[in-house]
Amino acid sequence: MRSITSADAKNNFGELIDLARAAPVMVTKYDRPVVVVMAAEEYERLKALDVRGSVAAKPKGTKL
């Protein structure tokens, strides 16, 4: 996964968006990972997988 600093993300936001549309990008601050920027489509796909996994893993008779 590509990684950029928060300063570079701020100064080159358009480029960050272009990169993130192709593959997730880790943004670091003080050499520590802070956030991952990714395409909206990828986020929605991961969110759908998480919801399906949560429902499938829930034992019968329990509330969410």
Each residue's pLDDT tens digit, 18-28: 999 999 999 99
The residue with tokens 């008779």 is: 61
Calpha distance 32→49 (Å, rounded): 27
Sign of CA dihedral 38, 19, 29, 31: positive
Structural tokens at position 61 = 């008779």
Q: For domain 2-57, which architecture applies?
A: 3-Layer(aba) Sandwich (3.40)
Asked if residue 56 has pLDDT above 90, the reply is no
4 within 8 A of 27, measured Cβ to Cβ: yes
Mean pLDDT of the chain: 90
* Domain segments of the chain as ranges: 2-57
Structure-block tokens of residue 20:
């993130």
CA 33 to CA 26: how far, in whole Å? 7
